[in-house]
Amino acid sequence: MNPILEGKKILIGVTGGIAAYKIALLVRLLKKQKAEVQLIMTEASKQFITPVTLSTLSENPVLSQYANEETGEWNSHVKLGLWADLMIIAPATANTMAKMANGLCDNLLMATYLSARCPVMIAPAMDLDMFIHPSTTRNINTLESYGHIIVDAEEGELASGLVGKGRMAEPEHIIDAVETFFGKTEHLPLKGKKALVTAGPTKERIDPVRFITNGSTGKMGYAIADELAKQGAEVTIISGPVNVSTSQKQVTIVDIESAQDMFEAVNERFESTDICVFTAAVADYTPSQVSSSKIKKKDGDMGIEMKRTIDIAKTMGEKKTSQQITVGFALETDNELDNAKGKLQKKNVDFVVLNSLKEKGAGFGHDTNKVYIVSTEQVVELPLLSKKKVAEHIVDEIIQRKG
């Protein structure tokens, strides 16, 4: 649990989009972190999720009208706007954002929005053609100019059956944005620290169309980078070719291709880095010569002469100062712990995160991982966890070592 959200007052405005069903999970995640949650629903949103569901999860009555029809009690939009530490509009439909951008006030939610003195966070959700329409783009830009935080829509399959950008950010990503927002105003353990993370595979060219690579997806590295950023660090990812992205705006991505590219990018930044995490699956060997033209098929076998690449973690370990924290990764199939312990000294890292391909759910391509945190002091075995949770454990270990 992140203590940043404990006691924070979160006002959620739910509008009439299919993504409204996801708000149940968002409320649960906020309550799990001990935030106070109050919801305002538009009439249209009730077609997608019931007020009873959200009232039960939030432990507060859900509001949608200015007055309670049974008691006549007035739901003051002014008091609601003053109560909140943060207002979240999710899902934010094209219609609602148009109202917000132009000051239209035709329901309790809009009246509360116009009265709110707290920061406002917006999670757009609509079909892809609506999302890319110039009027929607203009309205989002206008809302950003008001100082509102936009939690960008995500790509994927939409309710229409089309595939593209327009999905509301997943509740976990909205939580990340909320934590990041509050983290900016509170003490974070890695605030002011610079972190470098290597992630993904490298591609070693044979000729213009062929290359040698591996199955690393970069998911673990990006999860660690996001968690470092959430804890206040200024993070740079040196990334091989991957299809993942960061949820944190304060993370800088440097795209590379080969092991040599990665070495040069890391070497350039290492001296000014406080924390360095080597998660990338860097090729150990690369072709000695790269053909400038496509190699034609011939009868018989073909051999490719290979040369050793630079061991990035080992080379940086030789430069490491006592003020720097470095973390190595090991993916092993045999003598796992012995090999991981050997890397502690060989690469001069503070601890090694060991992946064993013998463990179900670990290794490349999974959304989970089963790791051991190996240091000179101890070996800590973690259960099978999501990569996000593994990243939290790894960053916790870094924070403890930073003192």
Active-site residues, by number, are: 214
Q: Is 347 annotated as a binding residue?
A: yes
DSSP 295: P
> Crossing angle of helices 259-270/312-319, nearest 10°?
20
> Mapping DSSP to helix (H, G, I), strand (E, B) and coil, where does residue 367 land?
coil
Calculate the alpha carbon distances from 322 to 265, 275, 348 in Å.
22, 11, 11
Cα–Cα distance between 179 and 250 in angstroms, integer? 13
Cα–Cα distance between 274 and 259 in angstroms, integer? 22
Q: Is 329 annotated as a binding residue?
A: yes
Cα–Cα distance between 344 and 346 in angstroms, integer? 6
Cα–Cα distance between 115 and 223 in angstroms, integer? 37
22: Cα separation from own chain's centroid: 18
Whether residue 171 is preceded by a cis peptide bond, meaning omega within 30 degrees of 0, is: no
Q: Is 343 annotated as a binding residue?
A: yes
Q: Is 46 annotated as a binding residue?
A: no
Cα–Cα distance between 252 and 234 in angstroms, integer? 8
Q: Is 48 annotated as a binding residue?
A: no
Residue ranges of the annotated binding site are 284, 294, 329, 343, 347
Annotated binding site for CTP: 284, 294, 329, 343, 347
